[in-house]
Amino acid sequence: MSTRHVAIVGAGLSGALQAIHLARAGARVTLIEREHVPGRGVAYGTDRPEHLLNVPARRMSGVADDVDHFTRWWAARGGDAEDYAPRMVFGGYVRELLAEAGESVDIVRGDAVDVEPGERVRLADGRPIDADAVVLALGNLRPALPARIETGALGDAWVADPWAGDFTVGLGPDDVIVLLGTGLTAVDVALTLDARSFAGTVLALSRRGLAPRAHEPREPMVAPQEELPETCVGLLRRVRHRAAEIGWRSAVHELRSVTQDLWRGAPLAERRRFLRHLRPWWDVHRHRIAPAVGATIDRMQAAGRLRFAAGKIVSVVPDGGGARLEWRPRGGDAVESVAARKVVNCTGPELDIVRAGEPLFDALIASGRIRPDVCRIGIDVDEELRAIGADGRPSESLFALGPMTRGAFWESIAVPDIRGQAARIANRLTA
């Protein structure tokens, strides 16, 4: 099949890389974006220089058949292949790639709310966009809302999305900031507070209190040489054994080349067991932070300005101009109380497309054109990234890529994974 015109919904990293690969393959592309700067999205739309890439420049090429593309681009600007460049700089790189596509890519501002039969994308204002095929590239969904918190009653003390505005305005040296979550978003927020010279204290709280680990200067990727266990427990034992031999970073890193195969080959019960019990540990060891970022986080902790804690929220209620948060530390019965100036939602994105409140997904699910994957962590797709409908059949003209395909591949959020998916779809649609 040779496709002349492809509509892509979402112009963040996933959508931009898809547009770039399609344009290079000779297709005409309409790239639809509702709110962010095309090519940047949320992650690379930051304007904070302290927000660094989580991997070195040598692994960040946006072009599937030229793995050194970003390395050369960065070197021409005085960078090194081992640098963890600012994310806003990488966003500029993707923007340049988009610009090079020229007239092959038409960027449309609008909110896609449905994909009707015949691959007509319907925008919220009624505009139709007709295409031969459609690619869903919405990236990560908006942050999930914590349960049991009446956020509306908290007023300005509640920060639902730390990327939506500057929540640091007006903070004083005696203020306490509570971060609900201890992952990568919490790290970003802590970095910004430090860069803004916030002199108060930060409490980052999650059920397990696990924080992302830092990279070492150079971590070569070596595939495991033996057959790997098929169960979560067996694989955990294997990683622990290898960690004792070669260090935990190398033990985790050598699974990188086979993670997708392990996930796809795992029985459903094992996938669910992993998500329920092991995912938090996998995330903080696998998705590491730049060494400089790790040093800043360590410095804040050593100074008593940042604390990562494990516990369960009991209540969050308004308290003057802030909020009173009560929480029970993990493994204990006593309840601790903290008066917070701000409570920041750092729980990470919603995963379940049914609960996401995304009108486009609601419409596509209602029409049977897409369905959640069996683990309910994204859109169900086959190996060719074709969206699978309610009838269990893959579409020949509706595709998805990026974070929304984690149910099929698990590893689908890093640049190498997304550019590979973009190239696969482009090859299929323009063959």
- Residue-level pLDDT at 329: 96
Of 287, 297, 326, the residue nearest 54 (C-alpha): 287
Superfamily of segment(s) 151-213+289-345: FAD/NAD(P)-binding domain (3.50.50.60)
Kind and range of the H or E element at 186? helix 184-195
Confidence of residue 431 (pLDDT cuts 50, 70, 90): confident
Burial bucket for residue 425 (CB in 10 Å: 0-12, 13-18, 19+): buried
Tell me the whole-structure pTM to 2 decimals.
Answer: 0.93
Average pLDDT over residues 173-185: 96
DSSP 47-80: --TT-B-SS-GGG--S-TT-TTHHHHHHHTTT--
Checking if the pLDDT of 369 tops 60, the result is: yes
Buried b (16+ CB within 10 A) or exposed e, 180-189: bbbbbbbbbb
Confidence of residue 283 (pLDDT cuts 50, 70, 90): very high
Rounded to whole angstroms, the maximal C-alpha distance in the chain is 65
- Residue-level pLDDT at 219: 62
Confidence of residue 298 (pLDDT cuts 50, 70, 90): very high
Beta-carbon contacts of 222 under 8 Å, excluding residues fewer than 6 positions away, are: 250, 253, 254
- Residue-level pLDDT at 295: 97
Pairing of strands 105-109, 176-180: unpaired
The yes-or-no answer to whether 5-142+350-430 and 151-213+289-345 have a common fold is yes
- Reported as a single tens digit per residue, the pLDDT across 249-278 is 888 888 888 899 999 999 999 999 999 999
- Reported as a single tens digit per residue, the pLDDT across 11-61 is 999 999 999 999 999 999 999 999 889 999 888 989 899 999 999 999 999
- Reported as a single tens digit per residue, the pLDDT across 324-360 is 999 999 999 999 999 999 999 999 899 999 999 999 9
Residue 274 is classified by DSSP as: I
- Reported as a single tens digit per residue, the pLDDT across 106-161 is 999 999 999 999 999 999 999 999 999 999 999 999 888 877 788 888 999 999 99
Partner residues linked to 308 by β-bridges: 204
- CA dist 137 to 97, 378, 385, Å? 17, 12, 11
- Reported as a single tens digit per residue, the pLDDT across 185-240 is 999 999 999 999 999 999 999 999 999 999 987 766 566 667 888 898 898 999 99
Partner residues linked to 201 by β-bridges: 176
CA distance 96 to 109: 19
Average pLDDT over residues 279-301: 95
- Residue-level pLDDT at 220: 60
Domain coordinates in residue numbering, the chain: 5-142+350-430, 151-213+289-345, 232-286
Dihedral angle sign, alpha carbons of residues 403, 344, 214, 249? negative
Q: Per CATH, is 5-142+350-430 categorized as 3.50.50.60? A: yes
Checking if the pLDDT of 388 tops 80, the result is: yes
Overall size of the chain counted in residues: 431
CA distance 400 to 381: 7
